[in-house]
Amino acid sequence: MAERFSIRDPDREDPFGPCIRFRRSSMTHFLLIHGGAHGAWCWDRLAPFLRMSSDIDQVVAVDLTGHGARRDVKPLDEITLTDYVDDIVREIERRDLRNVMLVGHSLAGISMPLVASRIPDRIRRLVYLATSNPPVGQSCSDLMKHPLSPVSRGIDARQMFCSDLDEETAAWLLGKLGPEPAGPMHEVATIAGPPAGIASTYILLEKDQALPPDFQREQARNANADEIVPFEAGHSAFASRPKDLAQLLIELARA
């Protein structure tokens, strides 16, 4: 598994600046999955930049059960990881999306391989954005016992999510956080990565205070990611550098 930086081509014209051109056989769709205590709202600043690309058709951010617009659809203590997977699969099938770039942040790492296993014919690539990926047989709760985890280090929400945000953006993000159901956190991982034939990339956030770089590298290994791509941002890169992160995601879609 190699660490690399994205490749740029100075002759390519693009709304985001120069980047390499690839031929695509069909339009690409993005399905964006939020992390713990967040909702689809966390992608609001990034999604418009993805939609500017002529290579991309639909950009969809999903609210998982118990979060965002779906916060009250089920009691928090009854929510399971299967609910999360069902939410994502349902949204992809309802819209009949194929050639999907499945992008997940933080806690979304536990659902992404399960989604890819359910509907492998619809998924093109998994993009893990500073995700937590427990090894098979362990849970995210087990991961929180790791000495580099945010729980072990005793850091608060502002330190975790807002380390490189300005005050206005930090207030916006902190004001929207909600509770995280305990159930999915305690469920053990049953598979590591996606099925054969589905590519995977781990975006390592180099300024992340929630999941330090060394912790993220372990998660990438647990997920059997094909590559690690470093990106200079804190844990909430979709809020601190939305345009630049969108450009990176578009480059991955063209690869």
Residue 19 falls within a domain, yes or no?
yes
pLDDT at position 3 is 56
pLDDT at position 63 is 98
Residue 104 falls within a domain, yes or no?
yes
**Exposure class string for 167-189: b at 16+ Cβ within 10 A, else e:** eeebebbeeeeeebbebbbebeb
Q: How confident is the model at residue 27 (pLDDT cuts 50, 70, 90)?
A: confident
Helix (H, G, I), strand (E, B) or coil at 61: strand
Region of poorest pLDDT, from 5-14, 135-144, 203-212, 243-252: 5-14
More confident residue, 6 or 220: 220
> Is the pLDDT confidence value at 221 over 70?
yes
Q: Whole-model pTM?
A: 0.90
> Is the pLDDT confidence value at 181 over 50?
yes
Residue 1 falls within a domain, yes or no?
no
Residue 91 falls within a domain, yes or no?
yes
The partner residues of 123 in beta bridges, in order of sequence, read 100
Residue 108 falls within a domain, yes or no?
yes
Residue percentage of the chain with pLDDT more than 90: 89
> At residue 27, what are phi and psi to the nearest 5 degrees?
-65, 145
Residue percentage of the chain with pLDDT more than 70: 90
d(CA 172, CA 158): 12
Question: What pairing do the DSSP bridges indicate for beta strands 123-129 and 199-205?
Answer: parallel
Q: How many domains does the chain have?
A: 1
> Is the pLDDT confidence value at 8 over 80?
no
Residue 2 falls within a domain, yes or no?
no
> Is the pLDDT confidence value at 18 over 90?
no
DSSP 113-155: HHHHHHSGGGEEEEEEES---PPBT--HHHHTTSTTSHHHHT-
CATH number of 219's domain: 3.40.50.1820
The mean pLDDT value of the chain amounts to 91
Residue 207, domain extent: 7-254
Query: pLDDT for 100-159, tens place per residue?
Result: 999 999 999 999 999 999 999 999 999 999 999 999 999 999 999 999 999 999 999 999
> Is the pLDDT confidence value at 77 over 70?
yes
pLDDT at position 21 is 33
In degrees, rounded to 5, the angle at the alpha carbon of residue 102 between the alpha carbons of residues 97 and 108 is 130
Region of poorest pLDDT, from 14-18, 55-59, 169-173, 251-255: 14-18
